[in-house]
Structure 1
């Protein structure tokens, strides 16, 4: 995958999360929905694991990971990929 002209490598789980979000830009997906896309990667996966993958993805795709503009949190609901700024 390329972001801002540079190649970015993702783990399989990170890619699955990004794939799920990119298929529905601007739509909020809950942690449970994202977890369903990760089914089979880890028997001990929890919703908090999704948060860790999102954090790692932000380090790779955001200009400033602490202030995400591409992979945004919708507090109390889940995450969304902002369409025109998505990788």
Structure 2
């Protein structure tokens, strides 16, 4: 699960789909990208803390 027990860990799109939405997309993993973009905007300046890890997924940097 995405939580404070995993500081600095990058989570793959597939992992986020499975853990947060409870299902697996085979070819629509860009759904996560859309949600991350919206989340970044809603978080304002804190949205910059969600880092894209190329080839892996996303990481929240404290």
TM-score (norm 1): 0.55
The match for 1:39 is 22
Runs of 4+ in 1 over 3 A off after TM superposition: none
- The residue correspondences of 1:1-87 to structure 2 (distance < 5 A) are 20=2, 23=3, 24-37=6-19, 38-39=21-22, 46-63=28-45, 68=48, 70-83=49-62
Query: How many matched pairs?
Result: 56
**C-alpha distance in 1 between matches for 2:44 and 2:35:** 14
Q: 1:76 to 1:62 in 2, by over 3 A?
A: farther
CA displacement, residues 51-73 of structure 1 (integer Å, 9 cap, x when unaligned): 010000000114185xx2x1000
Question: RCO greater where, 1 or 2, for CA within 8 Å and sep 6 or more?
Answer: 2
SS in 1 for 2:45: coil
Once the 2 structures are TM-superposed, how far is the Cα of residue 76 of structure 1 from its aligned partner? 1.0
